[in-house]
A and B are shown apart, each in its own frame.
Chain A
Amino acid sequence: ELKVEQNPLFLSMQEGKNYTIYCNYSTTSDRLYWYRQDPGKSLESLFVLLSNGAVKQEGRLMASLDTKARLSTLHITAAVHDLSATYFCAVDGYTQNYGGATNKLIFGTGTLLAVQP
């Protein structure tokens, strides 16, 4: 059974600091997604990583994927308060079904990020 673990579960950081969120998964997958969720809201897609070594950057966030280590990282540079949210990684839980690949997402438990002024 595919499992996805994130750490830390909670991260309090000061504005202007850098930090990294880690996402480990237990079986082979070459598709990984990062989502952001604000309190009471739905999921906003941040990054789609589709191959080993993939790196994507958007503003102060950068995500990378190492499929051999089964590890993805989300790096935050010079954090600002607006980045406060819960961040989820999700792995493509590919299963072959009679209808084709399921591609259901298996989510980590999330990292609650609080950026303090």
Chain B
Amino acid sequence: DTGVSQNPRHKITKRGQNVTFRCDPISEHNRLYWYRQTLGQGPEFLTYFQNEAQLEKSRLLSDRFSAERPKGSFSTLEIQRTEQGDSAMYLCASSFWASTVPYEQYFGPGTRLTVT
């Protein structure tokens, strides 16, 4: 396993269309995070999963956004009725979490979304 992978790497879509991104974490990692990064800014937390359970969602995650992690493996992030403001880099990260054990999040290459 070489790391976190994301597909597609780039997505161009028209406003109003739905898009879905996929993230495959490092295999032994039980936590998976989604972040969004706009140009010139640091990544912002969107949501995270521990195994298959989605445990927290940011207020940035509007009703048009939905994320799943069936069976605690890969995750998908879907955006419905895309808007130009959704244009950003969507980053996925994974980590192994157990109690207070120090951990590190490993990031995937990201999916760059452009909404025209």
Q: Which residues of A contact B (CB under 8 A)?
A: 4, 31, 33, 35, 40-45, 48, 50, 88, 90, 93, 95, 97-110
Contact = CB atoms under 8 A, between A and B. Distances in A.
B102 A104 contact: no
Contacts of B35: 105
Most-contacted residue by chain A among B42, B48, B95, B109 (CB, 10 A):
B42
Interface in B25-54: 31, 33, 35, 40-45, 48, 50, 53
A24 to B, nearest CB: 14
Interface residues of B, number: 29
B53 A99 contact: yes
Interface of B: 31, 33, 35, 40-45, 48, 50, 53, 55-56, 91, 93, 95, 97, 100, 102-110, 112
Nearest to B31: A103
- Would you call the interface of chain A mostly helix, strand, loop, or mixed? strand
Contact of A99 (B50, B91, B102, B103): B50
Nearest to B102: A50
Contact of B55 (A43, A48, A97): A97
B33 A107 contact: no
Given A42-B109, A98-B55, A102-B56, A107 B104 contact: no
Return the 6 tightest CB-CB contacts between A and B, nearest first: A107-B42, A99-B55, A104-B45, A43-B107, A42-B109, A42-B107
A44 B43 CA distance: 13
